[in-house]
Amino acid sequence: MEPTAKSEITLQGIAASRGIAYGQVFLYLQSELEIPQYSVDPDKRPAEIARFEQALLVTRQQISQVQDQVAKDLGPEEALIFDAHQMVLEDQALIGETIRDFEKSGLNIEMCFNAVAQRYIQAFSEIDDEYLRERAADIKDVAKRVLHVLLGQSALGLGDLVEKRIIATHDISPSEAASIDRSAALGIVTDAGSRTSHAVIVARSMKIPAVVAAADLTTKVQNGDWVLVDGYDGVVIINPNEQTLLRYGQIRKAKESFETRLMAVNELAAETLDGVKVALRANIEQADEIGLVKQYRAQGVGLYRTEYLFLSTGAMPDEEQQYAAYRAIVEGLAPLPVTLRTLDLGGDKFLADGPQSISQEANPFLGYRAIRFCLDNPEIFKTQLRAALRASAHGTAELMYPMISGPEELDRANALLDEARGELRARGQAFDENLRTGTMIEIPSAALVADLLARKCSFFSIGTNDLIQYLIAIDRGNSRTAHLYEPTHPAVVRVLRQVITTGHEHGIKVSVCGEMAGDALYAPLLLGLGVDELSMTPTLLPAVKYVVRAMKMSDAQALAAEALRQTDPKKTAALVEAFYRERMKLE
């Protein structure tokens, strides 16, 4: 660790993903490009055209560099896409039209180039041919690079990051997070965000230390600065001095020995001291995480967020692509169960080239999201259902619907599932006839009518991330209100109890797959309230298993009973914390 001469700045944010990282910053500012407009004097016009040609050349060199790096890191196939980008740069129509527009209008070249590029993007995106539509995305990408060069700004996207760096950014979208190369990102620090924003969930599953809501961080840090990220305590230190680095060297050692202590239980059963076995499953976003599911000995996948398949490609995959992805997971983990959650787009998850209708809403978390979008687009939904059903023939799959608000929606979803089954039968394609279907309980109205829903499905999975945000009206991604997002709020404790009891009265299993389930602090409370199963980011499994093995279920039940009596969320939080610290043998 090399200390730096600049003065040290410490920022307190929210600890979002465990770990300590130290490295140089890659400042990623994704603000929309502002393109100036001005007239170019006639005598300066040849120079303006030369500037444009130079920008095309520089862009070509940039793309070649990225292409070489991708070919080296990922293989020649993946690098092929950049050939299409180079072709855009050589497109005489695009270049010729820009120069003609420039000669006619006399406006600066970036203005003319942007106008022509936008016309092309619009025209290609309206063509009813998938190959040509993809060209629109290529032009968009290349045009952005050319404009960045003309305006003298860095055009690097997060997906281009290949050197090991700490990513510093205002906020990060789930698709941007999914595009990060995990071997290149040492850590992530943001100005905004919260513990349950989707991008943070992705960082956690990639084991990348992260701190969010470190206010104004991006105004204090510069590209290339050295930064220390403490994802345990939510601290970011810019230009740490020698003493700080020494101190963190010790902290890191202590944390590593704590992690080693946790990992010692990895191979052991998740069983309490009084002999109650607890089911611990994994949450995954991508097929390549099945290695982690096995490594951390999860008893299957309790939540597979299928929308990341859509987010990582930026478009709607067809039935075959979806089938291949779902099958790889179901078959790869068989006979362990895998719960595929149907598409949950909207909220903070949008496709770059997806239906425009689901972005740009005033309140996306209350808008056209998840099952609402799917029921409104039955062909998209049934394509997914058929793919999931076909994958179910290769192992143990379960299906669950996100954002169900009441029984009528559940009926409609199940009716479309029946139609999808009928279509597969007509095609003679196999699927598991006994596929179990579940309902996510993450909207307060669903919790209130849990009895009506329980009759129509085989299990409940409580999505505490959304349930808490909707119950106490706290935007899960807003750092300003993050302190009010309290899992120990009496309303949360009561609702959890009620859903669990109702599920059990109707003979169905109740699991929790929100971030609360993977927090060793809250796991005893959830288990004490009667939850049958916890599902979490794989890397969090050892800590939860550790606390399960160190507690008695009867004590967890007493903790839950006390939480149900409490009126003050802070007092309940203190009880939960004391329970945890004692079991984890922490001072």
Positions in the binding site for ligand PEP (CB under 6 A): 303, 305, 344, 442, 463-466, 513-514
How far is Cα 538 from Cα 530, in angstroms, rounded to an integer? 22
Binding mask 463-502 for Mg ion (x = CB under 5 A): x--x------------------------------------
Task: For residue 402, give both structure tokens.
Answer: 């996100």
Q: How many Cα atoms within 13 Å fall on the side-chain side of residue 281?
A: 25
Smallest distance from the beta carbon of 463 to Mg ion, in angstroms?
Answer: 4
User: Is 146 within 8 Å of 124 (Cβ atoms)?
Assistant: no
Q: Which does 464 bind (CB under 5 to 8 A by kind): Mg ion, ligand PEP, none?
A: ligand PEP
Q: What are phi and psi of 398, to 5 degrees?
A: -130, 155
User: Residue 20 or 371: which CB sits closer to Mg ion?
Assistant: 371
Among 442, 515, 519, 533, binds Mg ion (CB under 5 A): 442
198 classed as catalytic: yes
Smallest distance from the beta carbon of 513 to ligand PEP, in angstroms?
Answer: 5
User: Is 197 within 8 Å of 466 (Cβ atoms)?
Assistant: no
How far is Cα 250 from Cα 267, in angstroms, rounded to an integer? 28
Which one of 71-79, 244-252, 321-329, 460-468 is the stretch in contact with Mg ion (CB under 5 A)?
460-468
* Amino acid occupying residue 245: L
Smallest distance from the beta carbon of 463 to ligand PEP, in angstroms?
Answer: 3
User: Is 417 within 8 Å of 375 (Cβ atoms)?
Assistant: no
Task: For residue 176, give both structure tokens.
Answer: 């941007």
User: Is 82 within 8 Å of 165 (Cβ atoms)?
Assistant: no
Q: Which does 351 bind (CB under 5 to 8 A by kind): Mg ion, ligand PEP, none?
A: none
User: Residue 317 or 514: which CB sits closer to ligand PEP?
Assistant: 514
- 348 sits near Mg ion (criterion: CB under 5 A): no
User: Is 410 within 8 Å of 416 (Cβ atoms)?
Assistant: no
85, 148, 198, 394: the catalytic one is 198
Q: Which does 305 bind (CB under 5 to 8 A by kind): Mg ion, ligand PEP, none?
A: ligand PEP
Residue 58: C-alpha distances to residues 14, 52, 84, 511 (Å): 40, 10, 17, 54
How far is Cα 323 from Cα 378, in angstroms, rounded to an integer? 18
User: Residue 101 or 442: which CB sits closer to ligand PEP?
Assistant: 442
Dihedral sign for Cα 444, 448, 450, 456, please.
Answer: negative
Q: Which does 165 bind (CB under 5 to 8 A by kind): ligand PEP, Mg ion, none?
A: none
The C-alpha R_g of the chain, in whole angstroms, comes to 26
User: Residue 145 or 305: which CB sits closer to ligand PEP?
Assistant: 305
User: Residue 141 or 466: which CB sits closer to ligand PEP?
Assistant: 466
Residue 52: C-alpha distances to residues 26, 55, 147, 339 (Å): 27, 5, 10, 52
Q: Which does 514 bind (CB under 5 to 8 A by kind): ligand PEP, Mg ion, none?
A: ligand PEP
Smallest distance from the beta carbon of 197 to ligand PEP, in angstroms?
Answer: 9
Of the candidates 501, 503, 516, which has an alpha carbon nearest to the alpha carbon of residue 468?
516
Q: Going along 213-290, which residue ranges are E strands?
A: 226-230, 235-238, 279-284
User: Residue 270 or 404: which CB sits closer to ligand PEP?
Assistant: 404
Q: What are phi and psi of 11, to 5 degrees?
A: -125, 140
Smallest distance from the beta carbon of 402 to ligand PEP, in angstroms?
Answer: 6
Q: How many Cα atoms within 13 Å fall on the side-chain side of residue 388?
A: 29
Smallest distance from the beta carbon of 239 to ligand PEP, in angstroms?
Answer: 35
112, 374, 457, 513: the catalytic one is 513
User: Residue 150 or 303: which CB sits closer to ligand PEP?
Assistant: 303
Smallest distance from the beta carbon of 402 to Mg ion, in angstroms?
Answer: 6
Dihedral sign for Cα 204, 210, 214, 218, please.
Answer: negative
374 classed as catalytic: no
Smallest distance from the beta carbon of 442 to Mg ion, in angstroms?
Answer: 5
How far is Cα 66 from Cα 80, in angstroms, rounded to an integer? 11
- 432 sits near Mg ion (criterion: CB under 5 A): no
User: Residue 226 or 460: which CB sits closer to ligand PEP?
Assistant: 460
User: Residue 136 or 513: which CB sits closer to ligand PEP?
Assistant: 513
Q: Going along 278-393, which residue ranges are E strands?
A: 279-284, 301-305, 337-341
Smallest distance from the beta carbon of 14 to Mg ion, in angstroms?
Answer: 19
Q: Where are the alpha helices (DSSP H) in 126-221?
A: 130-151, 174-179, 198-205, 217-220
Task: For residue 573, give both structure tokens.
Answer: 């939080």
Q: How many Cα atoms within 13 Å fall on the side-chain side of residue 38?
A: 7
Interface residues with Mg ion (CB under 5 A) are 442, 463, 466
Q: Which are the catalytic amino acids?
A: 198, 513
